[in-house]
Every structure is written in structure tokens, then in C-alpha cells.
């Protein structure tokens, strides 16, 4: 198969990449839209307009850097959901336009599946992570435990009943007066704090399912911040609160994944593989805790490099390659889907 162009526009990262079938990145670009910072969150209309302004030139640049013309590609893969509808329309329509003009197959990529398949990039794990594996997907919009049994074959074991983990990081970071997105800033602040000084709740710990909850933890942090009165918190207090919050998140994730790993072992036998993906997987404390869970469960652990955890187009191009190899191209009239659960991938494909 010739190299595939990937396009990612589901949230506030505009990204494009060209990958060959062996997973070698021939060219890539990611532009994180700065315009949202003053609003403390992504503004959908601003995001859509920024994707429209940035993408055409970015697509020309990455294909040129890969030394290819559009008609020398093997296919075009664009994120078609879940995400913000304006951005999804921009990215998938441009992808379809190139596919139509250059006579290429088009793949409508599910953003969650793209995160899920990142660990299979052969450069990350020799030969690529083999199916099946247990995936913890933790991002700004999602928190899920999934059995990844094949391309389009995902079994959801559990997920958050309220906030996503990244959302909780972002909200707590805002309470502590950090910038946006808050996750990386909160991790940096927590490094200088005492995780024992404030003992925040660990929701769902020990439950016999794979669900998560973070809103009570976030509320507990908000109450602690309020207790200190109006005005900016002293830096040392903010650092201790950040560290106390982060260690509570780590404990919850480790407990829930330990349980999910036991279910995985029941279904697929011992010696499995645990994979973490999504923006929050860039957090080093979380990676270390998951590494430990995997070791205690007798499993291997794979965490993609941090730059492939946050949104990028390499994962989209790779998902395109995986799907095209199986003959799973999409028709050009497939519509973008703001809501598109992983479990619906198979039936959507099956009816095409
Ligand atoms: O996967 P992603 O780039 O976008 C979504 O699909 O949501 O994830 C972004 C989320 C944000 O909530 C951000 O605060 C969080 O990932 N994040 C982190 C870290 N880096 C990014 N959270 C905790 N620690 C980090 N180092
Ligand atoms: Zn994402």
C-alpha cells in the first residue's frame, strides 16, 4: 500500500500526517489553537474557523515534506467523529475532496479508535502491539476501559459516569489559577507539592465494575480551595492541593484498571497487554502507576510517547492504514458524527 494521509480536526488541534504502511512517519504537523486559552475552554465556532484557515496549507506542506503529490498517496483518512461538528465537517470534507480529486480510497476514522490503535504503530512496539489488549483511554472528553480485540472490534468494560479525567484536571487547574489546558500545568505544580497534606476522596474504589467518577473529587477540591478564602492561593498550598488531587486520580485509575485487567485475564488468559492512550496518558505519575498495575497483574505495558498521546494525525493515518488493509474504505457520502461510540463501529461497518 502506498502512504496514507491522515487528518485530525475533532477538537482544537489541527493536524496532518503522512505514514507509510510500515508505520514510518514521512511527515507530520500539529497546530494547537491558542485562541481558546482566554476563554478557559474550547470554543467550537473558533475551532472550526481555525481548522478551515490552517488545514489547506498544512495539507500541502505535509505532502510536500513527504515528497509526494496527492495522487501518489494510497488513501486519505480523516477523523469523522466523535468531536465538535464544525471541525469534523472541515477535516472530513477536505479529506473527501482530496480523495475524490485524486481517485483515492477514503476512511472515516473514529477518533477513539485512532487513540486505541496508536500502540500498534510498529515503531512503538517491535512488530506492533498484537490484539487483544486492554486499553485505558483517558482524554479531555473520554475515560474508558476497553477490550481491543481487533480493528472495529471493541468491547467497552466501563467508563466515567460523570466527568472525563482530562476535564477534571482542567477544572481543578482552573480552580488553582493555572492556564488552559490545565493538565500539563497541574502535573508540573503537583511535582513540588505534598500529596499527603490534603486527603481527597477516591470515588468508586473497590467496586466490582470498571466505571469511574471524578465529579465528587473535583467538588472536594473546590471546597478546599474555597476554605482558603478569596484571592490567589499561596503557591505552596496550591502545589499541595494539586499533588493531593493527582494522587487521588492515580489511585482511582490504578484500582479500576486492576479490576479491568482481572476481567481481561478471565476472558483472554494471563500475560496480557495493558495500553494507555489519550491526552492524559502524557501524565508521568499516571504512566508510572499503570506500569505498576501491569507488573502486578503479570502483564506488559505500552504507553505511546507523549506527543502521540495528545491529539495528532499520525494515529489517524495509522488507523486508515489498518482499515484499508482490511478493505474497510468508506463511501464519500458518510456523514461526520459528533457522537460515535466505539461499540458502534462494527455495526456501522457491517451495514456498509
Ligand atoms: O486526547 P486529547 O489531546 O484531546 C481529547 O481528545 O480530549 O486530551 C486533552 C486532555 C486535556 O484535558 C489535557 O488537560 C489533558 O489531556 N492532559 C493532561 C496532561 N497532558 C494533557 N492531563 C494530565 N497530565 C498531563 N500531563
Ligand atoms: Zn483525543
Residue 311 CA: which ligand 1 atom is closest?
Answer: 3
Instruction: Please give the pLDDT value at position 350.
Output: 42
Instruction: Please give the pLDDT value at position 123.
Output: 85
Closest ligand to 246 CA? 1
Instruction: Please give the pLDDT value at position 346.
Output: 56
Q: For each successive 10 residues of the chain (352 residues), what is the average pLDDT? A: 98 96 96 84 90 97 98 98 97 98 98 96 84 96 94 95 96 92 95 98 93 96 93 93 98 97 93 95 97 95 93 98 95 96 66 35
CB-count exposure of residue 212 (10 Å: 0-12, 13-18, 19+)? buried
Residue 10 CA: which ligand 1 atom is closest?
Answer: 6
- CB 166 less than 6 A from any atom of ligand 1: yes
**Cell numbers placing 262:** 482481572
Instruction: Please give the pLDDT value at position 36.
Output: 83
Give residue 139 CA to ligand 1 midpoint distance, Å: 5
- CB 8 less than 6 A from any atom of ligand 1: no
Give residue 330 CA to ligand 2 midpoint distance, Å: 22
Kindly report, residue by residue over 269-319, the tens digit of the pLDDT: 999 999 999 999 999 999 999 999 999 999 999 999 999 999 999 999 999
Instruction: Please give the pLDDT value at position 347.
Output: 38
- CB 304 less than 6 A from any atom of ligand 1: no
Q: Where are the alpha helices (DSSP H) in 153-214?
A: 165-175, 182-190
- CB 87 less than 6 A from any atom of ligand 1: no
Give residue 350 CA to ligand 2 midpoint distance, Å: 25
Distances from the Cα of 124 to the Cα of 37, 128, 130, 227, 304, angstroms: 32, 7, 12, 46, 7
Which residues have CB under 8 Å from 129's CB, separation 6+?
119, 120, 273, 275, 302
Amino acid at each position: 500500500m502506498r502512504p496514507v494521509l491522515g487528518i485530525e480536526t475533532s477538537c482544537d488541534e489541527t493536524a496532518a500526517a503522512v505514514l507509510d504502511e510500515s508505520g514510518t512517519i514521512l511527515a507530520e504537523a500539529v497546530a494547537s489553537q491558542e485562541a481558546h486559552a482566554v476563554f478557559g475552554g474550547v470554543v467550537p465556532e473558533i475551532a472550526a474557523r481555525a481548522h478551515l484557515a490552517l488545514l489547506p496549507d498544512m495539507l500541502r506542506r505535509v505532502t510536500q515534506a513527504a515528497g509526494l503529490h496527492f495522487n501518489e498517496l494510497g488513501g486519505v483518512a480523516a477523523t469523522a467523529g466523535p468531536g465538535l461538528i464544525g471541525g469534523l465537517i472541515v477535516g472530513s470534507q477536505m479529506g473527501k475532496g482530496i480523495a475524490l480529486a485524486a481517485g483515492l480510497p477514503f476512511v472515516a476514522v473514529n477518533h477513539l479508535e485512532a487513540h486505541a490503535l496508536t500502540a500498534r504503530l510498529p515503531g512503538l512496539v517491535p512488530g506492533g502491539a498484537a490484539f487483544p489488549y486492554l486499553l485505558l483511554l483517558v482524554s479531555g472528553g473520554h475515560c474508558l476501559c476497553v477490550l481491543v480485540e481487533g480493528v472495529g472490534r471493541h468491547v467497552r468494560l466501563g467508563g466515567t459516569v460523570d466527568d472525563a479525567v482530562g476535564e477534571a484536571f482542567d477544572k481543578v487547574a482552573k480552580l488553582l489559577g493555572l492556564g488552559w489546558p490545565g493538565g500539563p500545568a497541574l502535573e508540573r505544580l503537583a511535582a513540588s507539592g505534598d500529596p499527603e497534606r490534603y486527603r481527597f476522596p477516591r470515588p468508586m474504589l473497590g467496586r466490582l465494575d470498571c466505571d469511574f467518577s471524578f465529579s465528587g473529587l473535583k467538588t472536594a477540591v473546590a471546597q478546599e480551595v474555597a476554605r482558603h478564602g478569596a484571592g490567589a492561593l499561596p503557591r505552596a498550598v496550591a502545589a499541595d492541593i494539586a499533588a493531593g488531587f493527582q494522587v487521588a486520580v492515580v489511585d482511582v485509575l490504578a484500582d479500576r484498571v486492576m479490576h479491568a485487567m482481572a476481567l481481561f485475564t478471565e476472558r483472554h488468559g494471563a500475560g496480557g497487554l495493558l495500553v494507555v492512550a489519550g491526552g492524559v496518558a502524557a501524565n508521568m505519575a499516571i504512566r508510572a502507576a499503570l506500569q505498576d498495575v501491569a507488573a502486578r497483574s503479570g502483564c506488559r505495558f505500552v504507553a505511546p510517547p507523549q506527543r502521540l498521546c495528545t491529539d495528532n494525525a499520525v494515529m489517524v493515518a495509522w488507523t486508515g492504514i489498518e482499515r484499508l488493509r482490511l478493505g474497510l474504505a468508506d463511501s464519500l457520502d458518510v456523514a461526520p458524527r459528533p457522537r460515535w461510540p466505539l461499540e458502534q463501529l462494527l455495526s456501522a461497518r457491517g451495514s456498509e
